[in-house]
Structure 1
Amino acid sequence: MQPTGRRTFLALGLLLTGAALTACTDAPHRDPGRPAGDHSRPDPDEPVRRRALDATDTLLAAYDALLPQAPQLQPLREDVARHRAALDTATTTPTSSTGTGTPGAGTSGTGTSGTGTSGTAAPGATPATTAATVPTTAALASLERQTAQARLADLGAASPALARLLASVSAAGVLHAVALGDAAPAAAPAPSASVPPSASTTASASADATAAPFQAALGAEHAAVYGYGVVGARLTDDGQRTAARTSLAAHQARRDAWQRLLTGAGAAPDPAAAGYQLPFPVADAASAGRLAAHLETRLTTVYADLVAAVPTPQRPLAADALRESALRAHQWGAAATAFPGITDTPAGTSTPTAAGTGTPTP
């Protein structure tokens, strides 16, 4: 049983984590000496953006080749069109896939890039594949997975905002691959409890830049570990209980990884709170499953923001955590979204507040 004492809202720990990380990245990344609307200077993200757009056009062509025989793929194709629109706009933050607006004003989302494709291979380029070589759903699933992986190769070369978008779109691609029947993305190994040497070295060299965002991520994992303890206690199906234990172990490993990284940066990892207030009552297996989906969905926001908040060598760590939480959210029945981790807060959703402040709770 969790000891009584200082209590914080579980949802608050996750939501405020996202807010803390977003605060590091919400400022525009435009050159401060460049007037608004002045497009005379080249976009430093253009090479990365062009590779991402070319890969997206390949996906769109593959979907279009299959749609006549498989019209059920249309929702996935629409997600990819949203990805293209967002990638084609330097400063537009993508909205929820269920929203009315399409990010990236001025793009048609039809799969034509508007400019020629790059003639040279690049780190983030998708393997050369055309619609003619993607005649089956299985091949399309493989292409989605390969494209998702290729997008991550450009994380270090992108601006923080574009890196965040690439990580989210990559996670969406993995979810598409799973929906299309590819089991490979779901079979990824559990997160390592150790920190890669490059990440630890960077953390030690830039403790101030590393500590705050990773402390926020650590706090979110503390809350997730607590939450899965509640989830596991309410489940009755053996398969679901096994899934809950697996998820709990993954979050414990991720928590330990952030603690090691912070220690390597010379910072004392924040401890877990004595207890957490759940975002809604959890009295049976159905509500336990909803809590698991809630935990993972909130963590996708935490990790999408973390991608943009940390030094570039550590972005893959955050992107990997985003992908895993997106997959687990899907497995627990969370609603699908075109942009895992950077969707808008649904209308009417209140923001939980800390217990003991006198502020009304949701």
Structure 2
Amino acid sequence: MQPPSRRTFLALGLITLTAACTSSTDGGVLPGNKPPGPDSDHPVRLRAVAATDTLLSAYDTLLATPGAQTALLQPLRAETAQHRAALAYGVPTPSATPTPTPTPAPTTATSLAALERRTAQTRLADLGAARPPLARLLASVAAANAVHAAALGADQPDQPTTAPTPGPTASPAPVPALQKALGAEHAAVYGYGVVGAHLPDDQQRADARTAYAAHQSQRDAWQRLITSLGATPNPAAGGYRLPFTVTDTAGATRLAAQLETSLTTVYADLVADLPAQHRPAAATALRDSALRAHRWGAPDTAFPGIPEPLPTPTTPN
């Protein structure tokens, strides 16, 4: 077992992962290299690109209306364009992309938020059909869709994530990956104890209590799953070294944002590590942490939990 200090660094995301340890977001193929043989991810990518094109069209429609909130909409549209560039790797030509399903043009931010949420669900529906690197990317983009919806005003309260218990024919989940996620949740529970102690008795403290309970629930879910696989869940450390000293409200909110941001990395990696039937639990945990990070004021990113991939050229005819 690793000493507590190193486990803490891993859980809080304080050790920089090297490129060799991080899955590529381009579907496992480096930019500029042609994928060897038929790409089994191709149908998934086509569906993902089509859904993204529908979103881009919706943003353009709303941006063209008088009085559009350009300061809000333009950054979200730019991130959506980044999603398309990453998802479209290997799609031969724009003409090969299926025509987006006709969607009523959104006339308000609220209707656009609803479209973002529906698009997130289409990403998650394809998790089981994708190879691990693409599944990781889909989960990250789905989390970004959820954050976009929240930024546009959608009401998305935190919901505890329940890890599934494997059935008779389910592929076993890798215990080391689950132990890493469990360790991150142990650290988050500890960290939120510190966060809550430095917040005033107002909505922020109520939010911290809600997040604390959500992380306890997620911790317990991973413990049950690890136990069901015949392994012993790693216990929490006696204490955790925080990335900085927290003495006031500003420090507490900064710590909460950092805890959640670090968890998005853990859960994006977990999506790629798990067999198909377990991916939704990790993807939901990724989404929930991304939403909480957004609410705590963490900088938004187009790809929660993973480095932003550079746009890659599509394969020429």
Is the TM-score greater than 0.5? yes
| Contact 1:83/1:338, CA 8 A, preserved across alignment | yes
Following superposition, the deviation at residue 182 of structure 1 comes to 1.5
| Residue equivalent to 2:312 | none
Shift of the 298–161 alpha-carbon distance from structure 1 to 2, 3 Å rule, reads same
Give aligned-pair identity as a percent: 56
| Residue equivalent to 1:45 | 41
Q: Which runs of structure 2 are paired with 1:140-159 in the superposition (5 Å)? A: 140-159=112-131
Instruction: Give a deviation string over 1:65-95, Cα, whole Å, max 9, x none.
Output: 11123223111100000000011125xxxxx
| Residue equivalent to 1:74 | 74
- The alignment's TM-score, normalised by the length of structure 1, stands at 0.75
**Is residue 160 of structure 2 the alignment partner of residue 196 of structure 1?**
no
Query: How many residues are paired up?
Result: 300
| Contact 1:232/1:245, CA 8 A, preserved across alignment | yes
Following superposition, the deviation at residue 154 of structure 1 comes to 0.2
Q: Which runs of structure 2 are paired with 1:201-220 in the superposition (5 Å)? A: 201=168, 206=172, 209-220=173-184
Other structure's SS at 1:277 match: coil
- CA distance, structure 1, for counterparts of residue 25 and residue 258 of structure 2: 28
- The alignment's TM-score, normalised by the length of structure 2, stands at 0.86
Choose the corresponding residue for 2:58, options 59, 62, 80: 62
| Residue equivalent to 1:242 | 206
Other structure's SS at 1:269 match: coil
Shift of the 162–200 alpha-carbon distance from structure 1 to 2, 3 Å rule, reads same
Shift of the 17–273 alpha-carbon distance from structure 1 to 2, 3 Å rule, reads farther
Structure 1 segments, 4+ long, off by >3 Å, are 5-12, 16-20, 22-31, 36-40, 116-119, 199-203
| Residue equivalent to 1:12 | 10
- CA distance, structure 2, for counterparts of residue 25 and residue 153 of structure 1: 21
| Residue equivalent to 2:106 | 134
| Residue equivalent to 1:233 | 197
Following superposition, the deviation at residue 16 of structure 1 comes to 7.1
- CA distance, structure 2, for counterparts of residue 58 and residue 134 of structure 1: 11
- CA distance, structure 2, for counterparts of residue 331 and residue 169 of structure 1: 18
- CA distance, structure 2, for counterparts of residue 30 and residue 245 of structure 1: 39
**Is residue 114 of structure 2 the alignment partner of residue 118 of structure 1?**
no
Instruction: Give a deviation string over 1:268-296, Cα, whole Å, max 9, x none.
Output: 10111111111011011110110000000
Q: Which amino acid is 2:113 matched to?
A: A
Q: Which amino acid is 2:94 matched to?
A: G
- CA distance, structure 2, for counterparts of residue 24 and residue 117 of structure 1: 29
| Contact 1:14/1:220, CA 8 A, preserved across alignment | yes
Structure 1 gap ranges (5+): 91-103, 108-112, 120-125, 345-362
Q: Which amino acid is 1:235 matched to?
A: L
| Residue equivalent to 1:86 | 86
| Contact 1:226/1:276, CA 8 A, preserved across alignment | yes
**Is residue 154 of structure 2 the alignment partner of residue 182 of structure 1?**
yes
Other structure's SS at 2:302 match: coil
**Is residue 170 of structure 2 the alignment partner of residue 170 of structure 1?**
no
Q: Which amino acid is 2:164 matched to?
A: P
**Is residue 280 of structure 2 the alignment partner of residue 316 of structure 1?**
yes
Instruction: Give a deviation string over 1:279-320, Cα, whole Å, max 9, x none.
Output: 011011110110000000000000001000111110001000
